[in-house]
Amino acid sequence: MVTISGPIIIGCWIIFLAYWLISAFGQKAMAEEKSFLSTLTYRIPVTLGGFLLWFQKFPHPLNLLVTPHTDLARVLGAAVCVFGLLVTIWSRWTLGGNWSSEVAFKRGHELVRTGPYRFVRHPIYTGLLLMCLGTAIEVGQLHSWPGFLLLCAGFWIKLRQEEALLLRHFPDEYPAYRKQVKALVPFVI
């Protein structure tokens, strides 16, 4: 059976990038952002993880197939990626002008707790990690799984930096929000 899961996953990433570029316009001005060195602590694992996830020409044993290329696995990978894309777009839309690609606090920043932010505090990362998981399932090679884990680690580091910033700027609201809502996976983590 010919599968279209690969093109679906590539299409998801293209839609994600296009939406992110278009929606980056009209953001609130920065009030505070982290230093370049602190951004490296999450950018290095994210960049390396992305390279391991997407680059396909690795030597043995990194090119060993560990996730079978069955129809079921491919459909699952595509479905997880599409769901992740929907989560990221919904989250980004809900966040509006408060969004930043960096760890930053905006002028007039609001603590958003509606939409997907009712279920997890960092739903954009949840969606991105779902997209990466779907991609790792589709790629199926050994190198894709350490790549996925590095991406998880990088987003966790970034999440922790954002949490510290939000705790400082919302000292009463954010601790209560943290007690009510998990960071990445509803009811779990």
Residue 19 belongs to some domain of the structure: no
Q: Which tens digits make up the pLDDT trace of 112-156?
A: 999 999 999 999 999 999 999 999 999 999 999 999 999 999 999
Number of domains the chain contains? 1
3-state DSSP call for residue 46? helix
Q: Which range marks the domain in which residue 155 is found?
A: 5-14+31-180
Residue 137 belongs to some domain of the structure: yes
Assign residue 153 the CATH number of its domain.
1.20.120.1630
Residue 24 belongs to some domain of the structure: no
- Ramachandran bin of 115, using left for φ above 0, alpha for ψ from -120 to 50, beta for the remaining angles: left
Residue 171 belongs to some domain of the structure: yes
Residue 86 belongs to some domain of the structure: yes
Beta bridge partners of 33: 104
Q: What integer pLDDT is reported at residue 101 of this predicted model?
A: 82
Reported pTM: 0.92
Beta strands in the chain (DSSP E): 30-33, 104-106
Residue 189 belongs to some domain of the structure: no
